[in-house]
Amino acid sequence: MKKIILGLALFGFTINQAQTDPKLYDIIDAVSEERLRNDVKTLADFGTRHTLSDTLSDTRGIGAARRWIKSEFDKISKDCGDCLEVFYQQDLVEKGRNQRIVKDVMVVNVVAIQRGTKYPNRFIIMSGDIDSRVSDPTDFTSDSPGANDNASGMAGAIEAARVLSKYKFDSSIIYVGLSGEEQGLFGGQGLAKYAQDNNWDIVGILNNDMIGNIKGVDGVIDNRTFRIFSEPVPANESERARRARRFYGGEVDGISRQLARYVHKTVKTYMPEMNPMMVYRLDRFGRGGHHRPFNDVGFAGIRIMEAHENYTQQHQDIRTEDGIDYGDTFEHVNFPYCKKLTAVNAINLASIASAPPAPKNVGIGGIVQPSAKFSWDKVDGAVGYKIYWRDTTSPTWDNSRYVGDVSEYTLDGIVVDNFFFGVAAVGKDGHESLVTFPNKIIR
């Protein structure tokens, strides 16, 4: 009996000690501002990366840009003993599909997969965009450097691959450059479909779109804050799920929102100098991004981006008008900030890829009882589970209890009516899965 108690005490100690993983601090430090600067410069120097632009030139247009991105991923792979599977994923989009597709075009994404050692078919994705645009979305010849929108996100994905390819992870990580964003989110649609066709088990996508501007059009300068956009509940949820929510809650607890909370928490833990701002909406007001096609088919996905946009430097012909310089040019990108947001991605990719899968079949009960009850299916690779709860008005999982390697638990004295709850799986080094919001009722 004594032995068992000692064992449990030691076990509790181990879990407490593993609250932070030193590897993640190393990852933050390894992200290079200089490499990001060089890569954004290289991408901007392709003149235009418009989806419909030239594909034959070696120096100008989206063809040259995507070949360069592929060659960078290939180089990274060579440096890690071929640890990346690098390929083009492409779909033909025909003229007239919408007003911005003025000729047939092959929309080509560049994909690099770092295969997980334990869960090879389980993926966490980081995306940036290859393509750029100017004032007229169908103008595929004018100079369109797209330095911040979105060479910054693209460079971030390449740099994350450089840093994380030095490590091995349980789950697979995908670094991807998507095309066709400005023409109607076609690259994301293509890859989401590819993921479905290949039965990829996707934890989520961290879509990076504009991660390098710190000076807002309103004059605010802020190199600490960034936004995490997430939709409230899946767009393709069932009618049954929608109806159940009226009685059991979950209006702000969809899978994308749990991913947003995960990123928020990881950043608060490992990068306390940053100020992550969760925004409770799919994207900016009336505007889109490449996480959406993934959300459309039921995958979790969020948009990570700067907090203060500058509209004189987005989707603009390069010109000077009334003393204002318009255009998304290289000199406006702030690389210390771009480095920080790249690190935000890298530590979350590393943490999720190190964690066991989230528990499924999470049941909750406790109607007219003084305690809340939970049950879940155990997960391969978990050493234990954590029950999270929060006030119904709080955006973050403020309370938690580690309950060990069990598949049911009762939280004594906690009334089910007054909080929202979720369950996460905990891995051997303390890395946690995303929180699963209960999806069934138990007695």
Give the whole-angstrom CA distance, residue 410 versus residue 57.
Answer: 65
What is the smallest separation between the CB atom of 213 and Zn ion, expressed in angstroms?
12
Distance CA 425, CA 148 (A): 37
Residue sitting closest to Zn ion (CB): 149
- Which of 436, 438, 425, 440 is CA-nearest to residue 171? 425
DSSP state of 221: B
Shortest distance in whole angstroms from residue 384 CB to Zn ion: 43
DSSP structural state of residue 436: B
Least distance in Å: CB of 182 to Zn ion?
5
Q: What span, in angstroms and rounded, lies between the C-alpha atoms of 178 and 193?
A: 13
Closer residue to Zn ion in complex, CB, 172/316: 316
Q: How many Å apart are CA 292 and CA 272, to the nearest integer?
A: 29
**What are residue 426's DSSP bridge partners?**
384, 432
Regarding 283 and contact with Zn ion (CB under 5 A), the answer is no
User: Which DSSP symbol is given to 174?
Assistant: E
Q: Does 149 bind Zn ion (CB under 5 A)?
A: yes
Give the shortest CB-196-to-Zn ion separation in angstroms.
26
Q: Smaller CB distance to Zn ion: residue 134 or 267?
A: 134
Binding flags for Zn ion, 8-37, as an x/- string (CB under 5 A): ------------------------------
- DSSP letter, residue 274: S
Smaller CB separation from Zn ion, 245 or 284: 284
The piece of 12-20, 85-93, 147-155, 281-289 that touches Zn ion (CB under 5 A) is 147-155
Residues in CB range of 227: below 8 A, 6 or more apart: 277, 278, 279, 303, 304, 305, 306, 307
Q: How far apart are CA 15 and CA 435, in angstroms?
A: 18
**Least spacing, CB of residue 315 vs Zn ion, in Å:** 6
- Of 47 and 384, CB closest to Zn ion: 47
Taking the least distance from each CB to Zn ion, the nearer of 69 and 423 is 69
For 220, the token pair is 């605010």
The minimum distance between CB 150 and Zn ion, in angstroms, equals 6
Contact stretch for Zn ion (CB under 5 A) within 142-150, 227-235, 323-331, 411-419: 142-150
Specify whether the CB–CB gap between 182 and 131 falls below 8 A. yes
Residue closer to Zn ion, measured from CB, 149 or 159: 149
- What letter would DSSP give residue 144? B
- Asked whether the beta carbons of 414 and 401 are under 8 A apart, the reply is no
From the list 77-85, 145-153, 293-301, 424-432, the region that binds Zn ion by CB under 5 A is 145-153
Instruction: Pick the closer one to Zn ion by CB: 50 or 261.
Output: 50
Taken as a whole, the chain contains a residue count of: 443
Nearest distance from C-beta of residue 101 to Zn ion, angstroms: 16
Outline where 249-396 has alpha helix (H): 255-270, 292-296, 335-354
Should residue 159 be labelled a site residue for Zn ion when binding is judged by CB under 5 A? no
- Region binding Zn ion by CB under 5 A among candidate stretches 52-60, 76-84, 141-149, 330-338: 141-149
Pick the closer one to Zn ion by CB: 130 or 362.
Answer: 130
Cα–Cα distance measured from residue 141 to residue 53, given in angstroms and rounded to the nearest whole number: 6
**Smallest distance from the beta carbon of 208 to Zn ion, in angstroms?**
12
- Residues near Zn ion (CB under 5 A): 149
